[in-house]
Structure 1
Amino acid sequence: MLKLIFQLVANKQSLQKLERTLLYPTFNHPAMSRSKATVNRPTDLSRPLVEEANARIVYPEARKDGKFEEMLHEYRIRDVYRWLEDPDSIETQRFVNAQNNISQPFLERCEEWESFNAKLTKIWNFPKYGCPMRHGNYYYYFKNTGLQNQSVMMQQENLESPEVVFLDANTLSADGTTALSQKTFSEDGAYMAYGLSESGSDWNKIRIRRAKERTDFPETLEKVKFSNVSWTKDNKGFFYGRYSDQDGKTDGSETKQNENQKLYYHRVGERQDQDTLIAEFPEHPSWRFQTDVTDCGKYLILSISHTVRDNMLYYADLKPDEPITSKLDFKPIVDKFEADYDYLTNEGSKMYFHTNKDAPKYRIAVIDFNNPAEENWTTLIPEHEKDVLEWAKCVNEDKLLVCYNRDVKHILQARELHTGNLIRQFGLDIGSINGISGKRKYSEIFYGFSSFLTPGIIYHYDFAKPVEKPKVLREINLNLEGFNRDDYSVEQVFYKSADDTNIPMFIIQRKRDSVEPRPCLLYGYGGFNHSLMPSFGITGLMFIDTFDGVLAFPNIRGGGEYGIEWHNGGRLLNKQNGFNDFQAAAEFLTRNNYTTKDRLAIQGASNGGLLVGACINQRPELFGAAVAQVGVMDMLRFHKFTIGHAWCSDYGNPDEREHFANLFKYSPLHNVHIPLNPNQEYPSTLILTADHDDRVSPLHSLKFAAALQEAVRYSEYQLNPILLRVYTKAGHGAGKPTKMRISEATDIITFFKKTLKVDTVNL
């Protein structure tokens, strides 16, 4: 992602305004009538027919509590909706129920919802498969017959033998809200440690399954979160992290910070209270761990992080012939949070890492643990001039699979482990690798490919047969009558942002002889070094097919599409660049006749929800409708809940004055305005969250919705609805059952139909 980190220039006028302003203003204004009588609104026949429905909406009046005042960086902050941070209070639950009593009828009690739900269900109903994985004597893969709430893990003795069910999460809960969240096999493939998530929470319960018998050991490991599993090579146990000191609820509905993760070793067949404590760092409560037992089995690599980027590296010697009964002696290799390091494989004491240390677009570095000083490091595969080396994987003893991101399109190569020389390049269409499996001890690999118009193709390749080309193992076909990829166009354009930076954007639509404005869905993310790659989405295809619409995916700064410099260009004090990029995408689409303001919808989730929230505050005149899903909306307190403190690497720490001042400028919650003229009217807005989201707590959406509704309550210029929908037994998104995914997609499509200017509806 061009080094565009600018120093913050002090804006005295903004700081003075900040000192004068109480956060969460009471929205008193002489132009605003406090009467609850119906406001006389001007008539505009060119607008979508949403005003009649909006006229009947009476927003719940959220209590403004004046007792929450505090001094932050010499500013007095009045936090009138802080009571909504308590998810267990009766008052909060009443507020949520009152919001759902408005949003659910608006969305669901109409013919459109039933029709769209039926169509989405039909489209969704096609077989889906994951990449096969070989472990020991069996192959495994995930399969969903079409509408199963959770995909089923299947087992085969070989690729042609009959399949049997190995683990079916659908049998674990009647409503499908228990999901398989992680899995790791022992070295010999005899056991699988797997995690179960309930109601979408990040909390995991770890169980262990026998591969041959397909039965579980009796123990369950609890209070596990943000942890991988690393088996020792003797297959007797594994390392994992847990928050053993976390008090109170651990079901995903709590808001308490996740602190003091500890590393344990678990032996198969024993109770959790018999696990051995391997490492803890009580002086650093925010540290989190990932572990790797090296391929040779002689070392345990400990990766330590405290945000979502940059990690330190420690290692300990393992003695395979001796039981693990006490803490290990860890030695530092990298003791600074300044770059990313991902272990790939090793040759004796020489360790191979994928890293961005001195390489913004990443490289493969070799570190000899017998001589680990940085000046002794070597580079196997250097940083590419333009392409980002996204990941690498060791397979077939001495091969490295490497995946590059070239202008937001994946390139897959095989290289020689000892020299880095190119062996072969795998042919890919414009799209992305969405699955990969292979191990160093096996010669065969499997990889999955998808694109905007391709649900998935799974390829099989065997390095033991280098003359043969990769074979298509399975091609996933969509169940949409008359669907033909050749009827659609996918173009990548580059447009100028506010500072003249070129921003790439994919535009997908039906092929047409002339460009004419159509309903358009603009989707964005732009954060945490995450690249928004071409991928297949049923909701997006539904939007195109139903409304003869257009999809647009801009790759804004803050993501990882062009490496760390692109990420840096949209984070911390440069976060506004990402918002500018997204707003410039909207202007490009309207200026070039793809759409018009009243046909343009924006959507984003998580960090993308923040993006939507900030943009409707800053440039409401650009958009006709907005959907903000599980967004980070309170930028002054995000670091106080669950894992929010880890996001300071992207947002900055609100406890530091410089970052506080920057966060205040764009925080969705603190920049809500009263529409005082037609250009300040908010677009029709749907805010979505879930009661078990312990990644981005629903309190963000609740407080934002309360502030928005209070701001627009008596404005004669606000004709568009502001709705909050809170789902139950759901989390941040992972593991959500199919039925719930279809219902949420139906809500979104129905919302667009009722709030955008739509002249075509195909059902």
Structure 2
Amino acid sequence: MSCLSNCMSVLRFFANHRRFSANLTVFTIKHSQLFHNVNNSIASSLSGRTLTASATSLRSWNMTFAYPEARRDDTVVDDYHGTKIIDPYRWLEDPDSEETKAFIEAQNKITRPFIDSCPVKSQINDRLTELWDYPKYSCPFRRGNRYFFFKNTGLQNQNVLYVQEKLEGEARVFLDPNSLSEDGTVALSGSRFTEDGNTFAYGLSASGSDWITIHIKDVATGKDYPEVLKKVKFASMSWTKDNKGLFYSRYPEQSGKTDGSETEVNRDQKLCYHRLDTPQESDVIVVDFPDEPLWRIGAEVSDCGRYLIVTPVKDCRDNLLFFADLSKHPEISGKLPLTQIVHKFEADYEYITNEGSVCIFRTNKNAPNYRLVKIDLNNPDEQNWETLIPEHPKDVLDWASAVDHDKLVIHYVRDVKSVLQLHSMGNGELLEQFPLDVGSVVGFSGKKEQTEIFYHFMSFLTPGIIYHVDLKSKPYKPTVFREVKVKGFDPSQYEAKQIFYSSKDGTQVPMFIVSKKGLALDGNNPALVYGYGGFNINVQPSFSVTRIVFMQHFNGVLAVPNIRGGGEYGERWHNAGRLLNKQNVFDDFQAAAEYLHREGYSRPELTTAQGGSNGGLLVAACINQRPDLYGAAIVQVGVLDMLRFQKFTIGHAWVSDYGSSDNETQFNYLLKYSPLHNIKSSDNGRAPYPATLVLTADHDDRVVPLHSLKYVATLQHAAAADHWPPLLARVDTKAGHGGGKPTAKIIEEHTDILSFMTQALGLTFVK
């Protein structure tokens, strides 16, 4: 989610998270929707009155449950600064070995019968499928003389890109990814139109991998140009303003497999220039940093077309800032000479727009809640920077976009809720604040040369409303362009509220609680506590079918605590939960569960902890530290080996949040909470682990499956004498970290999660 470039999405890599820049075409864009696919669903309610049987006899599983035996090799020992650490399941780091494949097969063979025996699994699946089947839309966006938008009729595996000549005109299919694979596992991943709207570059990913191939389409004819750009990952894409060439970043020297099932470190990214209608072999490298093989290179052609803004990043925060004057190099035949503006990795810099040589950037330099600054490329020294929009004392300036020639749309996050404003580009003056309910702006479209904008609003109980604003006339009044309706869903039956609770150190942490209205607070309701807590990510309200099914059919309570480590309160909140402050994240999440139990929303044996990626680390660490707080845990694509994560694919980028075992102080801290290294046997007086479902996928090249495999092997070994509660793994195929996952797979995964919870906690399905 980045206005600077697609590559800047890697700054908050876990979410594959993009800002809704006018230059990007996306369908849903908030990190919590794109990364956490387990929650990227549409809520609903139903009117029913019968009760079905709850879970099968759980004690029968207690008599028969047995885990596969996994070979332990205690001779594998690493020396970290004098501390010896045994890694007995190191062999599981090889995804291609027959032994690893056999281990995965054995795990699925015990997991599937447990989930499939849930007596209400088919009802859960039917209801999820029924509620998912409604049309979903993105904001329309204009490119050249045409409008485009994404639509999913309901159960299509991938969203379809439509085109229409006029906003009120008839739409036709422009690009349907569903036609590219029978099972829907080929997905659109990043795209960019030329300035005139006549040419379309688009990335395709397969099986959920971060690797993409870039294809180029003639908009008028719908035909693709012959070239295909390969070995592309974490790519920025930006066309020159003459519409003849594309800047994009790639890994030309990546050896071995590049299909998402490999574990090799991603290194030596180059920024390349591709001329339209020429083979990739003719592309030239325009920017590289051979002395810094782990840097990733973002680039953006300025709105005026004269400058190429280059933004190298090495971790998941902070970037350097360079520019090249393209007017001096019209042929772009080789390396571009760069002028460096920012020389230290100490803040974020995000290009918004420019007037002549004066560029506007969003930055947190000396502004933890972010501000907008003007930098004159003819005189770029920091002492000459001018603040256009100062840092707000409380609200976080989340993104900005230039519109209507001389205006800026600015999105703030205020106590985890969206605030959308229109400002003057000249002096920063506030011109308008658009009315919003409590919720999130999850989509936006508008460009500097256009006089209209669209924005997409969503909340826990609002499936989506797309607003249109005509900036040619005052007052700037939003009108509803399209409102999403879900058949049978009545939001008046539910309530969503925000409370603040005290964490272990007294910090006040916000939390959303969503449930049926009038639910008795007697401690007998199942609760689902979802958390993330990292990488400056905001977890704002979003609409979810799965969550509503949980609330409606299980009388469940949804709790979303906005724990430290995230970006809900700017860089201060982020810093309070990273590096040697990471324990605050776990304390905040545990305190959220304690609040729910203390206030009667639920009790420990009915509480499920859920999180994905960095959130998977969160959940796994919390059930190590406080297993007594939870009856079940859902650990999705988690970072679980905190001593070796930096050795695989893009893991080295996470050092900015976690630190590294290569540093002795950070190693000692990581060892204290690393989920893999803090699993204890349940015969040592500790409370037994809650029922745990660990989910991963064979093409996850973001958080490679070895984390989950080594973790579940260790967990099962520690509990070998205790056959209950279940500690299981679900390893999906032709799937990755979450992005691009087809609807059929998402529904299947959510069905399994709810079925697991039903089985493990003995829940009753209310029909």
Please give the alpha-carbon distance, in whole angstroms, between the structure 1 residues aligned to 2:600 and 2:507.
22
The residue that corresponds to 2:22 in the other structure is none
Residue 570 in structure 1 maps to residue 582 in structure 2: no
Displaced runs of 4 or more, over 3 A: 46-49
Q: Is the 8 A contact 1:108 1:114 kept in 2?
A: no
Q: Give the CA deviation at 1:724.
A: 0.3
Please give the alpha-carbon distance, in whole angstroms, between the structure 2 residues aligned to 1:589 and 1:70.
41
Aligned-partner SS, 2:120: helix
Which moves more between the two structures, 540-549 or 318-327? 318-327
Please give the alpha-carbon distance, in whole angstroms, between the structure 2 residues aligned to 1:280 and 1:468.
45
The residue that corresponds to 2:551 in the other structure is 544
Residue 267 in structure 1 maps to residue 275 in structure 2: yes
Residue identity opposite 1:743 in structure 2: E
Match of 1:504 among 504, 510, 532: 510
Q: Describe how 1:241-320 pairs up with structure 2 within 5 A.
A: 241-319=249-327
Residue 475 in structure 1 maps to residue 483 in structure 2: yes
Which moves more between the two structures, 383-392 or 311-320? 311-320
Rg larger for: 1
The residue that corresponds to 1:739 in the other structure is 744
Q: Give the CA deviation at 1:646.
A: 0.1
Q: Is the 8 A contact 2:422 2:431 kept in 1?
A: yes
Aligned-partner SS, 2:225: coil
The residue that corresponds to 1:233 in the other structure is 241
Aligned-partner SS, 1:460: strand
Please give the alpha-carbon distance, in whole angstroms, between the structure 1 residues aligned to 2:520 and 2:190.
48
Please give the alpha-carbon distance, in whole angstroms, between the structure 2 residues aligned to 1:476 and 1:217.
36
Deviation readout 1:495-532 (Å, 9 max, x if unpaired): 10000000000000011064222111000000000011
CA RMSD of aligned residues (A): 1.3
Match of 2:734 among 697, 710, 729: 729
Match of 1:555 among 551, 554, 562: 562
Q: Is the 8 A contact 1:531 1:559 kept in 2?
A: yes
Q: Is the 8 A contact 1:127 1:144 kept in 2?
A: yes
Please give the alpha-carbon distance, in whole angstroms, between the structure 1 residues aligned to 2:757 and 2:552.
14
Match of 1:762 among 746, 762, 766: 766
Q: Is the 8 A contact 1:47 1:598 kept in 2?
A: no
Q: Is the 8 A contact 1:48 1:756 kept in 2?
A: no
Tell which has more relative contact order, 1 or 2 (C-alpha 8 A, sep 6+).
2
The residue that corresponds to 2:642 in the other structure is 635
Q: Is the 8 A contact 1:452 1:534 kept in 2?
A: yes
Q: Is the 8 A contact 2:195 2:241 kept in 1?
A: yes
Q: Give the CA deviation at 1:48.
A: 9.3
Deviation readout 1:86-132 (Å, 9 max, x if unpaired): 00000000000000001111112443221111111001101100111
Q: Give the CA deviation at 1:558.
A: 0.2
Residue identity opposite 2:741 in structure 1: K
Q: Give the CA deviation at 1:402.
A: 0.3
Q: Give the CA deviation at 1:51.
A: 3.2
The residue that corresponds to 1:515 in the other structure is 521
The residue that corresponds to 1:207 in the other structure is 215
Residue identity opposite 2:585 in structure 1: G
Aligned-partner SS, 2:227: coil
Q: Give the CA deviation at 1:321.
A: 7.7
Aligned length: 713
Aligned-partner SS, 1:393: strand
Residue 198 in structure 1 maps to residue 206 in structure 2: yes
Please give the alpha-carbon distance, in whole angstroms, between the structure 2 residues aligned to 1:310 and 1:337.
5
Q: Is the 8 A contact 2:56 2:118 kept in 1?
A: no
Match of 2:601 among 556, 580, 594: 594
Please give the alpha-carbon distance, in whole angstroms, between the structure 2 residues aligned to 1:524 and 1:307.
22
The residue that corresponds to 2:531 in the other structure is 524
Which moves more between the two structures, 321-330 or 191-200? 321-330
Q: Describe how 1:59-70 pairs up with structure 2 within 5 A.
A: 59-70=67-78
TM-score (norm. length: structure 1): 0.92
Please give the alpha-carbon distance, in whole angstroms, between the structure 2 residues aligned to 1:180 and 1:282.
31
Residue identity opposite 1:154 in structure 2: Y
Match of 2:390 among 382, 394, 397: 382
The residue that corresponds to 1:161 in the other structure is 169
Q: Is the 8 A contact 1:149 1:176 kept in 2?
A: yes
Please give the alpha-carbon distance, in whole angstroms, between the structure 2 residues aligned to 1:50 and 1:434.
41
Deviation readout 1:18-70 (Å, 9 max, x if unpaired): xxxxxxxxxxxxxxxxxxxxxxxxxxxx9995332243221111111133222
The residue that corresponds to 1:36 in the other structure is none
Aligned-partner SS, 1:319: helix
The residue that corresponds to 1:331 in the other structure is 339
Match of 2:433 among 425, 428, 442: 425
Match of 1:434 among 423, 427, 442: 442
The residue that corresponds to 1:72 in the other structure is 80
Deviation readout 1:644-690 (Å, 9 max, x if unpaired): 00000000021100111100000000000001267520000000000
Aligned-partner SS, 1:495: strand
Please give the alpha-carbon distance, in whole angstroms, between the structure 1 residues aligned to 2:345 and 2:207.
34
Match of 2:363 among 351, 355, 358: 355
Match of 1:714 among 710, 714, 721: 721
Residue identity opposite 2:664 in structure 1: R
Please give the alpha-carbon distance, in whole angstroms, between the structure 1 residues aligned to 2:339 and 2:398.
28
Please give the alpha-carbon distance, in whole angstroms, between the structure 1 residues aligned to 2:391 and 2:288.
35
Q: Is the 8 A contact 1:665 1:671 kept in 2?
A: yes
Residue identity opposite 2:359 in structure 1: M
TM-score (norm. length: structure 2): 0.92
Q: Is the 8 A contact 2:55 2:759 kept in 1?
A: no
Q: Is the 8 A contact 2:432 2:476 kept in 1?
A: no
Which moves more between the two structures, 266-275 or 49-58? 49-58
Match of 1:486 among 492, 516, 526: 492
The residue that corresponds to 1:41 in the other structure is none
Aligned-partner SS, 1:693: coil
Deviation readout 1:334-376 (Å, 9 max, x if unpaired): 0110000100001111110000000000000111111111111
Residue 172 in structure 1 maps to residue 180 in structure 2: yes
Residue identity opposite 2:491 in structure 1: R
The residue that corresponds to 1:40 in the other structure is none
Deviation readout 1:451-500 (Å, 9 max, x if unpaired): 00111111111101223521111111113x3x311111111111100000
Match of 1:651 among 642, 646, 658: 658
Q: Give the CA deviation at 1:177.
A: 0.1
- Unaligned residue ranges in structure 2 (runs of 5+): 1-53
Match of 1:581 among 579, 582, 588: 588
Aligned-partner SS, 1:246: coil
The residue that corresponds to 1:221 in the other structure is 229
Q: Is the 8 A contact 2:61 2:724 kept in 1?
A: no
Aligned-partner SS, 1:218: strand
Residue identity opposite 2:87 in structure 1: D
Q: Is the 8 A contact 2:646 2:652 kept in 1?
A: yes
Q: Give the CA deviation at 1:439.
A: 0.4
Q: Is the 8 A contact 1:48 1:755 kept in 2?
A: no
Q: Give the CA deviation at 1:403.
A: 0.5
Deviation readout 1:113-161 (Å, 9 max, x if unpaired): 2111111100110110011110001100000110000010000001111
Residue 181 in structure 1 maps to residue 189 in structure 2: yes
Please give the alpha-carbon distance, in whole angstroms, between the structure 1 residues aligned to 2:382 and 2:605.
56
Please give the alpha-carbon distance, in whole angstroms, between the structure 2 residues aligned to 1:674 and 1:641.
29
Identity of aligned residues (%): 55
- Unaligned residue ranges in structure 1 (runs of 5+): 1-45
Q: Is the 8 A contact 2:500 2:511 kept in 1?
A: yes
The residue that corresponds to 2:31 in the other structure is none
Please give the alpha-carbon distance, in whole angstroms, between the structure 1 residues aligned to 2:433 and 2:749.
40
The residue that corresponds to 1:23 in the other structure is none
The residue that corresponds to 2:60 in the other structure is 52
